[in-house]
């Protein structure tokens, strides 16, 4: 069972990973975007991190994720704010009022987040976006659950699929966002949004493994 403490730890670990990888994310974005993905994400998750102590004893998981969403939308510039804000908002709706999450709840959280990003960004698999990381990871989690795997086992499978999806963005031609303006020059570069999405899922796994 995933509890509130796990969610708070996940958000803190993710915030730390963004801080540690800020320059790397910005370098990736410099090649095919506005060179601000790492800076923007770090700004948003620093604000989230500063709020975590106030969440501890008073909010259900859905409320926590909704507050994260509002914080990100208000503090992250570019496309990342609306996309991550939507991911967390839709995830919050999927687990509204819950203090603990079953395996099915985690699946619904991940699926709802993906659906939100698909709706907001209008990107599909193969467009060289965070969808290329999120979509295969959700599919892998769902498949593992169907095979009777534990939540931890399913999440390991999901993160492996996310990592493969991230590597698969390198040879892709970007079809969405600023990167799409580059045409063929976008080929050969790893997608920055996909990279931060992978870090988000990897952070969740690390917390459940601990």
Query: In whole angstroms, what is the distance from residue 173 CA to residue 210 CA?
Result: 38
pLDDT value of residue 32 = 86
Q: Inform me whether the pLDDT recorded for 177 exceeds 80.
A: no
Q: Inform me whether the pLDDT recorded for 179 exceeds 80.
A: no
Which residues make Cβ contacts (< 8 Å) with residue 209, sequence separation at least 6?
A: 152
Query: In whole angstroms, what is the distance from residue 28 CA to residue 21 CA?
Result: 11
Q: How far is CA 68 from CA 64, 93, 97, 98, 178, in A?
A: 6, 12, 15, 16, 25
Which residues make Cβ contacts (< 8 Å) with residue 89, sequence separation at least 6?
A: 65, 66, 69, 70, 116
Question: What's domain 2-209's superfamily in CATH?
Answer: DhaL domain (1.25.40.340)
pLDDT value of residue 186 = 81
For residues 28 and 182, the model is more confident at 28
* Sign of the dihedral defined by the CA atoms of residues 26, 79, 128, 179, in that order: negative
pLDDT value of residue 65 = 97
End-to-end CA separation in angstroms for the chain: 14
pTM of the model: 0.95
Average pLDDT taken over every residue of the chain: 94
pLDDT tens column, 79-113: 889 999 999 999 999 999 999 999 999 999 999 99
pLDDT value of residue 44 = 96
Question: 199, 22 in Cβ contact below 8 A?
Answer: no
Q: Inform me whether the pLDDT recorded for 59 exceeds 90.
A: no
Q: Where are the domains of the chain?
A: 2-209
């Amino acid at each position: 069972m995933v509890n509130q403490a796990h969610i708070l730890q996940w958000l803190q670990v993710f915030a730390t990973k963004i801080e540690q990888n800020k320059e790397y994310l910005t370098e990736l974005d410099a090649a095919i975007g506005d060179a601000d993905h790492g800076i923007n994400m770090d700004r948003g998750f620093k604000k989230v991190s500063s709020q975590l102590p106030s969440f501890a004893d008073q909010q259900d998981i859905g409320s926590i994720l909704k507050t994260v969403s509002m914080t990100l939308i208000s503090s992250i510039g570019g496309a990342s704010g609306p996309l991550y804000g939507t991911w967390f908002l839709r995830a919050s709706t999927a687990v509204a009022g819950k203090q603990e999450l079953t395996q099915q709840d985690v699946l619904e959280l991940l699926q709802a987040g993906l659906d939100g990003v698909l709706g907001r960004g209008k990107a599909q698999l193969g467009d060289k976006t965070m969808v290329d990381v999120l979509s295969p990871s959700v599919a892998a989690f769902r498949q593992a659950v169907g095979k009777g795997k534990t939540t931890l086992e399913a999440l390991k499978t999901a993160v492996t699929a996310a990592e493969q999806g991230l590597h698969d963005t390198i040879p892709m031609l970007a079809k969405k966002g600023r990167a799409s303006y580059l045409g063929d020059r976008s080929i050969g570069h790893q997608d920055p949004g996909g990279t931060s999405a992978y870090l988000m899922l990897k952070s969740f796994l690390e917390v459940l493994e601990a």
